[in-house]
Structure 1
């Protein structure tokens, strides 16, 4: 069982997949290991899956915040990676400025929702990189991303355990 939680932890650190992929995998693996359906998982197992996924998803955040921008700036003048680094710098800066103009003082909340709503490309990696390019303070960034990761974990757990499907069946 410990190997399953290690897999969840490692999957949640992968960019683009993050905990949006780790939680459903964890629920499926634990259910399969115990011979249960997703709805029969104990609260203890669900909490452990979420804890490992959230911690794994947050591990790269400080590295991204402090080093990704420096790497992109360094790489922008290099022969083989210059174009892609420039693309990310320009795209991130423009997108960040748009977000900042629309959000104003609500940038913390905007970043929280950006990370928290589990859509492709809107996880902790992307949110942290955007915050870094916007020069958000590190403490504010980490707290906003952490809150977003918590929301994404909650939504993915409910989806993985079939709660949304059950609600759809009841209210359809």
Structure 2
């Protein structure tokens, strides 16, 4: 019984880490492997957590930005966040939903679910299409990250 609870605790930690900005599945997959999860299990848990965040972000960012853009206090802050995010959005602007998929599938810093959802909201992409593109992109990023992580950890 204690072993099951310990394993479940590790899985919850890995899923929560995959939901954090900057960490996302790129950091959660190696974390799960280092905590003793099977590599595939770590990838599935991390990808699931990251996809949950995409669903939440896509559904709250549009109304949030629309409402707070009109206030003086938040307008300048949102403007800075938009400006920073849009610097990374060249591929998305050019290829729309396919660009969003490519952007999110690259396991590089700041090309994950949080930035992708923000850019998708700024560009006012269709939420359902953006969710599918980002989910598929996260699966690809998870496979790439798993391949790299497992190769690195199996050396040691």
TM-score of the superposition, structure 2-length normalised? 0.81
Output one character per residue of 1:85-127: Cα deviation in whole Å (capped at 9) or x when no partner: 122235556765x445532xxx222111110111111001111
Correspondence for 1:34: none
Superposed CA RMSD in Å reads 2.5
Change in 2 beyond 3 A, CA 1:84/1:144: same
State which structure, 1 or 2, has the greater radius of gyration over its C-alpha atoms.
Answer: 1
Deviations 1:5-47 (A, max 9, x none): 111100000011100110010011116xxxxxxxxxxxxx222
**What is the Cα deviation at residue 165 of structure 1?**
9.1
The yes-or-no answer on 1:2 pairing with 2:5 is no
Tell me the number of residue pairs that the alignment of Structure 1 and Structure 2 aligns. Answer: 149
Q: Residue 36 of structure 2: SS of its match in structure 1?
A: helix
Farther-moved stretch of structure 1 (46-55 vs 15-24): 46-55
Structure 2 runs not aligned, ≥5 long? 1-6
Instruction: Report the alpha carbon displacement of residue 132 of structure 1 after superposing the two structures with TM.
Output: 1.8
1:21 aligns with 2:27: yes
CA distance in 2, matches of 1:99, 1:156: 21
Distance 1:85 1:130, change over 3 A: same
> Match of 1:88, SS?
helix
Q: Does 1:102 align with 2:91?
A: no
- In 2, the alpha carbon distance for the partners of 1:101 and 1:58 equals 22
CA contact (8 A) 1:65 1:128 kept: yes
What is the alpha-carbon distance in structure 1 between the residues aligned to residue 60 and residue 84 of structure 2?
18
Give the conservation status (yes or no) of the 8 Å contact 2:26–2:142. Answer: yes
Q: Is residue 111 of structure 2 the alignment partner of residue 122 of structure 1?
A: yes
